[in-house]
Amino acid sequence: MPAEPVWLSAAAVVTYLAVLAVPGAAIGLVCRLRGWILVAVSPLLGYAVLGVAGPWLHLIGLPFTLLTALASAVVAVGLTAVVVRLSGRPGPVEEPRWSRRGTVAVAWCVGLAFVLSIVVVVLATRGELNAVLQRWDPVFHANGIRYIAETGDGGLYGVSSVNRYGPEGSQFYPNAYHLAGSLVYLITGGSVPLVMTAMVMPLGGIFALSMAALVRECGGRAVLAGSTAVVSAVAASGVYESISNGLLPFALSVALTPLGPLAVLRFVNRPGADTGVVLGLVCAGMLAVHSSALFAIVLLSLPLLVHRWWKQRGTAWPDIKRLLIVAVPTILLTAPHLLGALDQASGSYGYRPWASAQPVWGALYNLLAFQHARPEPQLALTVLVVLGLIGYRRLGALRWIGGAALLFGVFWLLVASFGGVDWVAAISRPWWNDRPRMIALAVLPLCIIAGHGLTVVYDWFRQRLSTRHSVVVVAALFAAASLALGVPGNAATAGRLYNNGPGDTRATLAVSDGEVEAMRVLAKLARPDERVMNDRNDGSVWLYALTGVKSVAAHYDENVPPKDAAYLEQHFPEYRTDPEVRAAVKRLNIRHVFVGDGSRFPRVLPDPGTKGLENADFVRPVYRNQDAVIYELTP
Q: For residue 559, what pLDDT is reported?
A: 80
Q: For residue 89, what pLDDT is reported?
A: 66
User: What's the CATH number for 509-633?
Assistant: 3.40.50
CB contact at 8 A, 592 and 551: no
Q: For residue 505, what pLDDT is reported?
A: 80
As a whole number of angstroms, the distance between CA 175 and CA 289 comes to 7
Tell me how far the alpha carbon of residue 341 is from its chain's centroid: 18
As a whole number of angstroms, the distance between CA 149 and CA 441 comes to 32
Q: For residue 601, what pLDDT is reported?
A: 54
Helix H or strand E encompassing 76: helix 66-86
Q: For residue 91, what pLDDT is reported?
A: 59
Q: For residue 603, what pLDDT is reported?
A: 56
Per domain, the residue ranges of the chain are 6-346, 360-498, 509-633
> Which portions of the chain are predicted below pLDDT 70?
1, 88-94, 347-350, 599-604
Q: For residue 93, what pLDDT is reported?
A: 64
Amino acid, single-letter form, for residue 78: G
pTM value is: 0.95
Could you tell me which of 216, 34, 21 has the C-alpha nearest to residue 110?
Answer: 216
Q: For residue 207, what pLDDT is reported?
A: 98
Could you tell me which of 296, 232, 536, 530 has the C-alpha nearest to residue 431?
Answer: 296
From the CB of residue 110, how many other CB atoms can be counted at a distance below 10 Å?
A: 27
CB contact at 8 A, 370 and 443: yes
* Cβ burial, residue 605 (10 Å; 0-12/13-18/19+): exposed
Amino acid, single-letter form, for residue 385: V
Integer CA distances (angstroms), 557 to 165, 171, 390, 480, in order: 14, 13, 47, 43
As a whole number of angstroms, the distance between CA 266 and CA 219 comes to 11
Integer CA distances (angstroms), 41 to 204, 207, 210, 262, in order: 15, 11, 8, 9
Amino acid, single-letter form, for residue 548: G
As a whole number of angstroms, the distance between CA 114 and CA 10 comes to 13
Amino acid, single-letter form, for residue 354: W
CB contact at 8 A, 385 and 454: no
Bridge partner list, 630: 594, 623
Integer CA distances (angstroms), 12 to 56, 202, 227, 341, in order: 26, 11, 29, 31
CB contact at 8 A, 474 and 405: no
pLDDT tens digit string along 298-328?
999 999 999 999 999 889 999 999 999 999 9
Phi and psi (nearest 5°) for 200? -80, -35
Could you tell me which of 553, 555, 575, 576 has the C-alpha nearest to residue 563?
Answer: 553
Q: For residue 170, what pLDDT is reported?
A: 86
| DSSP secondary structure letter of residue 498 | G
CB contact at 8 A, 554 and 541: yes
Looking at the chain, how many residues does it have? Answer: 635
Give the three-state DSSP class for 82.
helix
Q: What angle do CA 478, 479, 485 make, to 5 degrees?
A: 115
Please spell the DSSP secondary structure of 585-629, one letter per residue.
HHHHTEEEEEE-----SS--PPPGGGSSGGG-SSEEEEEE-SS-E
As a whole number of angstroms, the distance between CA 199 and CA 138 comes to 12
CB contact at 8 A, 494 and 606: no
CB contact at 8 A, 208 and 20: no
Integer CA distances (angstroms), 385 to 74, 95, 361, 451, 455, in order: 45, 28, 18, 8, 11
CB contact at 8 A, 501 and 493: yes
Please spell the DSSP secondary structure of 273-305, one letter per residue.
HHHHHHHHHHHHHHHHH-HHHHHHHHHHHHHHH
CB contact at 8 A, 333 and 56: no
Q: For residue 348, what pLDDT is reported?
A: 63
Q: For residue 92, what pLDDT is reported?
A: 59
Tell me how far the alpha carbon of residue 159 is from its chain's centroid: 15
CB contact at 8 A, 403 and 303: yes
As a whole number of angstroms, the distance between CA 359 and CA 308 comes to 36
As a whole number of angstroms, the distance between CA 179 and CA 174 comes to 10
Could you tell me which of 430, 345, 354, 289 has the C-alpha nearest to residue 171?
Answer: 345
Amino acid, single-letter form, for residue 187: I
CB contact at 8 A, 510 and 135: yes
Could you tell me whether strands 550-551 and 629-633 are parallel, antiparallel, or unpaired per DSSP bridges?
unpaired
Give the three-state DSSP class for 10.
helix
Q: For residue 509, what pLDDT is reported?
A: 85
From the CB of residue 484, how many other CB atoms can be counted at a distance below 10 Å?
A: 12
Q: For residue 97, what pLDDT is reported?
A: 81
Q: Describe the strand order of the beta sheet including 531-533 as a list of residue ranges.
A: 550-551, 531-533, 590-595, 629-633, 619-624
